[in-house]
Every structure is written in structure tokens, then in C-alpha cells.
Amino acid sequence: MSNETLTYTGGAEEILARWNKRRGPFKLEGAAYAPDLDLATLAGRIVPESAAEPKGNHGTFALKRSMIAPEFIGLSELAFLNAQLIAHLRRSIYPPEAPALFRRLWAEHPEHLLGQLDLRWQVSSAMTFADHGQAGPEQALGASLKMLFGLIKLYEFERLFTGLAPSEIHRFGSRSKAAMPLKMDQYSLNHGGLDVALLAPLYAQAEDAPVLKPLALTLLHALNAEGGTIFRRLDTMKERRAKARSKKENRV
């Protein structure tokens, strides 16, 4: 296969290189986080405006911390700590206590975090479990959520270039006759169940991942309630197709 046919011309090496380029560790100044932090106290303290004052040089975690801080002013220091740990855990090297401390936050204070974090940070938290959750069902569920929400983000961003709002469905008459990529069969609006087959196992997996379960179910409910995703649009199209077929049958 010639390189001209590849999306990433360097194949696996290029993809890994580009991924690792974004994962360089922060420069740390002094001690990081004590593993026995009093999380309840942090949940009761509010992030002050002074936390957003620029600190540190390029590449330092002090600078990254001050860049994250504006989103958490007025929220709890525990929610801010969660964001800091995520920033660390996205890098190739991180404070050794970070994974256990991140998981401890969600094991001990899930309701508090869900009440403080917006959906973007909830998604980021769920994705972090893919690599730093407990091995087994917890990491498996984290990986599934990471793939699901990552692909939703990519697809919904690209779809904006059609000029359609996220809640607008495609018209039946404008469908292209082009073949599907990777020789896939087309999805059936009449009988297709791929949408449910993708989502249902996540609910089942959550039962075996108690620490991640509250976050996972909150995100899956938010996805179900969101009117501007491929899942809602396909469901609306199914309903319209079914109504059209019913009218046609009744006329006959």
C-alpha cells in the first residue's frame, strides 16, 4: 500500500510519535501531593481568585495549574484537585501518588464531584479511568467511555461543517449513494440496533465498577438527554421513517 493512501502516512510510528509528543511530563517544583490528603477539608474549601494568577515558567506544572484555575474559582478545592490530577495523568510521567489519589477522590466523594464538575470535566475524569483506574472492569469501562465520547467529539465537530445545527436531522432525500468506508454494511433505520448495542454494555459494565459507576451513569444519562447527538438524530429519523411507512401502509 502506498503512503499516499494513508491518513497518517507514517502509520503506527507516526501516530505514536504524535501522541507521545503531547505527553511530555511537567517540570515539578518541590513535593507534589500527599497520599493521605484530607479530602473532606478540601471539599469544604473554595478556590480563591488568587489561584488564577500566572505562576511558573513554560513547561512547569505551576503554570498549568494557574491556567486551569479560572474554571474553578468559586468551586471546591477538591474539584480543582481532580482537574490537576487529570492534567498530570495525561502525561507520560506523573507523580507516583497521582493514580491512587485520583481514584480515592471518586471512591470517597463522587456526589460532591458530580455536583461541582461540568460535563466536560466529567468526561475527562471518566477518560482518565481508562489508563489509571483499577485493572479489570473499571479500566475496561473507562476505555469504553473514552472511545465513545472521543468519537462523539470528533464526529459532531466534523458534522458542524455541513452547516446543520446539532439538533437538525438530515433529510431523507439528500442521502448520498456512495459506499460505506471499510466495506461496512449501511445502518438500517428500519431495523438497526447498533446504537443500543454500543450503549447497553456500558450500563452492564458499570455494575462491576462501583467507583466509576456514579460518574459513568451520570454521563450516559446526559448523553441520553442530549438532543444534539447522532443518537438522538438517528432515533428521530427512525420515528419519522416509521410514521411514513405506517401512513403509506394505511393508504394501501
Domain boundaries, the chain: 8-117, 134-170+180-252
Lowest-confidence pick of 25-34, 148-157, 208-217, 236-245: 25-34
Whole-number pLDDT of residue 174: 83
Q: Which residue has the cell 477538591?
A: 78
Report helix angle 137-159 to 119-132, nearest 10: 140
Statement: residue 217 has pLDDT above 60: yes
Q: Which residue has the cell 503512503?
A: 3
**In the structure, what pLDDT confidence band is assigned to residue 137 with cuts at 50, 70 and 90?**
very high
Beta-carbon contacts of residue 92 (< 8 Å; ≥ 6 apart) = 20, 23, 24, 25
Between CA 102 and CA 128 the distance in angstroms is 9
**In the structure, what pLDDT confidence band is assigned to residue 251 with cuts at 50, 70 and 90?**
confident
Statement: residue 30 has pLDDT above 80: no
Cβ atoms 201, 144 nearer than 8 A: yes
Whole-number pLDDT of residue 55: 87
Whole-number pLDDT of residue 249: 75
Between CA 61 and CA 150 the distance in angstroms is 25
Between CA 64 and CA 51 the distance in angstroms is 11
**In the structure, what pLDDT confidence band is assigned to residue 40 with cuts at 50, 70 and 90?**
very high
Mean pLDDT of 195-213: 97
C-alpha cell belonging to residue 216: 459513568
Statement: residue 31 has pLDDT above 60: no
Q: Which residue has the cell 474549601?
A: 45
Cβ atoms 227, 126 nearer than 8 A: no
Whole-number pLDDT of residue 180: 94
Statement: residue 1 has pLDDT above 50: no
pLDDT in tens, 5-29: 899 999 999 999 999 999 999 988 7
Beta-carbon contacts of residue 236 (< 8 Å; ≥ 6 apart) = 169
Whole-number pLDDT of residue 130: 98
Indicate the average pLDDT of the chain.
93
Statement: residue 242 has pLDDT above 60: yes
Between CA 129 and CA 182 the distance in angstroms is 30
pLDDT in tens, 41-98: 999 999 999 999 998 888 899 999 999 999 999 999 999 999 999 999 999 999 999 9
